Structure 1
Amino acid sequence: MTDDVCGRCGEPYPPSARYCESCGHRVAGIAGATDSPGTAEHGTAEHGTTGPGSGATAPACRDCAGPVAADGYCLQCGGREADPRDHWSDEPAPGTGGVCDRGVRHTRNEDAMALYAAPDVRVLVVCDGVSSAPDSDRASLAAAVAARDHLAAVARTEPAAELDAGWSEALVAAVALAEQAVLDGVGEMAERREPPSCTFVASVVTATRVTTAWLGDSRAYWVPDDGPAQPLSTDDSWVEEMVAQGMARADAVASPHAHAITRWIGPDSGDAPPRVVETPLDTPGWVVLCSDGLWNYCPDVEAFTAVVREAVLGTEGGGTAGGGTAVAVADRLVRWATEQGGADNITVALARHPEPGAAPSDNLPLDASDPKEL
């Protein structure tokens, strides 16, 4: 009998094990224990899930298979059941997928993602709960799902050809709905001095372009099969503001304020509008969205490019630049960040361009190769 693989660190463990010997993660020693509770099968036409554990049956204890109470503890052996948000994935289509993971050091996963795929449109949304504000896991999931649902609804009701130049407005509207979803979801917690809040980044990928909107320091990149990655977003952060004012980047990054964000989604955000950028896509590659749990370990473009390329080539079927499925690439990137220390929650969502099986398009919507901020 072959060993299973730990869903947190990727190391093998024997079928009889309850805990991974490498990282201590509970694996329960049952077949399929590494499956993430939010994993969904991709559909043939379009797909979008609600979030981790959507559609799941009543939980059973992973140690003894006994019933788990509402407080998360097994009524039979007293063990603490894993939170479905600790590690989950979504794969709406083979070329579109993501993985969201708690990491090693945090006790709660405050990241969230929401994905959608249809024949002509893919939607990726990643949100990172603000760790200094308790219960920000609620904000991140509410924001991600609300934005994705709006963008998916637009994709279903408008012809793709007419929409291609109109995704900027749809993304701005999606951010407004995400803001409202957070307010509705946190209730009286909105009155706290530090109310639940989150960063936001979303990309809509079509046959000819990617349109990206963001608030905060969750990032989007275009990683072509050849050449360096291209950032699709610029951090809304103290570091970027100081660099813009003339401070050396090395000094700004070394500051204790380096991880402070200047815009976000939440009750105290001041309704700051997102920045939106359109970027033409005329070569094969990957659109990659991630939280800082990944990019903190590869903050510059060259390092990020190398890490993504290694992950792509390391997947099954990854002997070429196109690599394996998007969720397989995301999983390898999450594992890589975990191996670097996993100091934060880690979320990675990707869309392959062109969409697997789609006919190539030479109808570039923009005149220049550089992104255009709207």
Structure 2
Amino acid sequence: MSAATVDAGSGDATPAAQPVALLCPACGAINEPNARFCEECGTQLGDLIEVSGDTATEPEDIPERATSAVIPAPARRACVYCGGSIADDGYCELCGKPAQSERDHWQEAPAAWVGGVCDRGIRHEINEDAMALSAEPQAGSFAVLVVCDGVSSTPGSDVASLAAARAATALLAEGRVADTAAGLDSEQAQARWSGRMLTAGEHASAAIYEAIGELATRTNPPSCTFAAAVIDGPLVVVGSVGDSRVYWIGDEGHSRQLSTDDSWSQEMMAHGMSRQQAENAPQAHSITRWLGADSPDEKPQVVPTYPTGAGWVLVCSDGLWNYCSDARDLEELVHRIVGSVGSNPVTIASTLVDWANEQGGQDNITAALARFDSVVSTAAPAAGV
């Protein structure tokens, strides 16, 4: 649909300025005007080359035709690790690390008590993990943490994971506004959030379908896992599809995995195989459920719980728990990190990511944390932690 603007001086209608597409400087692909990352290669966009709507019509013509109708890009990019400038040789002038896009390594901190880091790892060429966080400023009041891990065997799963994480977080965050106005009691809140978590899985899967376009018709379309936690005062509601996980890490122990994997290894453990054997078998990371166009069941497994005491809610991809699966081992690691770097969630998450890379960084790594200090009242139905 076209639009027109009216010139105030003459009253003549003149065509409105149309959004201009962004030309990726790395691969030459044309992206939507508001895109932050290249859909083809993942390079961070933004203040880059803009291509007018009447330029290239064929991909191979883009670099040549765009030269006469572009706005020059800024001279230097910022390093995603330290903020320094990327030199012409592709390395940071300050820390010396190679240039990476924001998708390769980024962090979010919607509030002082909630934060996360998403990292490409060492072995993978692109980051197919994604996270999206939302939180109110007051510690322990309300937060949403979502982590999705793209299935690496299907190209385009990085697009799927980001779309799913953002869609689910947006839907869950909107629910807070409705509940605040309604003034729900604890039992009503538990039922409401459990239902919303199921809906979040549906919205995330629908967002994937929309984001991947014609790729949805492939035999093996882009897909991802899903792990989410909603903190609403003393209540924590967890949802999961696949093998990304949610853990409770208590300050005084009693840590445990709150989510249950949909995977071959989980099924083997249910039949008596030890965790060590199951999670080190060749089929260990074969998931039995996922989100995407060919999902057999997109409804998350939902677990509401009321943690007693203080601790951390940790949502992570298998790039982290690969190296520290058991909740007690992960508790020891988190406690050691907190004792070393303090209680800032982003700093803790960053240190967890660094630790996973030191173990080999075989996969993309995401860790998102929320500080939990609420103590359940005697009237609330305590569950499991």
Query: Which residue pairs with 2:109 in the alignment?
Result: 91
| Counterpart mapping for 1:66-145 below 5 A | 66=75, 77=88, 79=90, 82-118=100-136, 119=138, 120-145=141-166
Cα distance in structure 1, aligned partners of 2:217 and 2:107: 33
Task: Give aligned-pair identity as a percent.
Answer: 46
Cα distance in structure 2, aligned partners of 1:86 and 1:258: 25
TM-aligned CA deviation for residue 249 of structure 1: 4.0
Query: Which residue pairs with 1:46 in the alignment?
Result: none
Distance 1:365 1:260, change over 3 A: farther
Cα distance in structure 2, aligned partners of 1:365 and 1:277: 19
Query: Which residue pairs with 1:346 in the alignment?
Result: 365
TM-aligned CA deviation for residue 59 of structure 1: 5.4
CA contact under 8 A between 1:213 and 1:275: conserved in structure 2? yes
Could you say which structure has the larger radius of gyration? 2
TM-score (norm 2): 0.72
Deviates more, 1:345-354 or 1:159-168: 159-168
Long gaps (5+) in structure 2: 1-35, 37-41, 50-72, 78-86, 91-97
| Counterpart mapping for 1:128-277 below 5 A | 128-159=149-180, 161-162=183-184, 164-165=189-190, 166-277=192-303
Does 2:377 match 1:363? yes
Pick one of 299, 318, 327 that aligns with 2:346.
327
Cα distance in structure 1, aligned partners of 2:345 and 2:43: 20
Query: Which residue pairs with 1:43 in the alignment?
Result: none
Amino acid at match of 1:220: V
| Counterpart mapping for 1:297-336 below 5 A | 297-315=323-341, 318=342, 324-336=343-355
Amino acid at match of 1:86: D
1:280-319 CA-to-partner distances (Å, cap 9, x unmatched) read 122011100000110000111221111111121221xx2x
Cα distance in structure 2, aligned partners of 1:312 and 1:197: 34
- Secondary structure of residue in 2 paired with 1:164: helix
- Secondary structure of residue in 2 paired with 1:344: coil
Distance 1:203 1:365, change over 3 A: farther
TM-aligned CA deviation for residue 156 of structure 1: 2.1
- Alpha carbon RMSD of aligned pairs, Å? 2.6
Cα distance in structure 1, aligned partners of 2:43 and 2:196: 28
TM-score (norm 1): 0.74
Deviates more, 1:361-370 or 1:212-221: 361-370
CA contact under 8 A between 2:248 and 2:313: conserved in structure 1? yes
- Secondary structure of residue in 1 paired with 2:354: helix
CA contact under 8 A between 2:147 and 2:226: conserved in structure 1? yes
CA contact under 8 A between 1:100 and 1:113: conserved in structure 2? yes
TM-aligned CA deviation for residue 362 of structure 1: 4.3
TM-aligned CA deviation for residue 229 of structure 1: 1.5
Distance 1:308 1:248, change over 3 A: closer
Amino acid at match of 1:283: G
- Secondary structure of residue in 2 paired with 1:84: coil
CA contact under 8 A between 1:228 and 1:305: conserved in structure 2? no
Aligned residues: 298
Amino acid at match of 2:172: L
TM-aligned CA deviation for residue 129 of structure 1: 0.5
Distance 1:81 1:368, change over 3 A: closer
Query: Which residue pairs with 1:3 in the alignment?
Result: none
Amino acid at match of 2:293: P
Distance 1:157 1:368, change over 3 A: closer
CA contact under 8 A between 1:239 and 1:258: conserved in structure 2? yes
1:166-221 CA-to-partner distances (Å, cap 9, x unmatched) read 21111111111001000001111112222110000000012212100000110101
Long gaps (5+) in structure 1: 1-37, 39-51, 69-75, 319-323, 355-359
Cα distance in structure 1, aligned partners of 2:288 and 2:102: 30
Distance 1:257 1:364, change over 3 A: farther
Cα distance in structure 2, aligned partners of 1:229 and 1:309: 11
Cα distance in structure 1, aligned partners of 2:132 and 2:234: 22
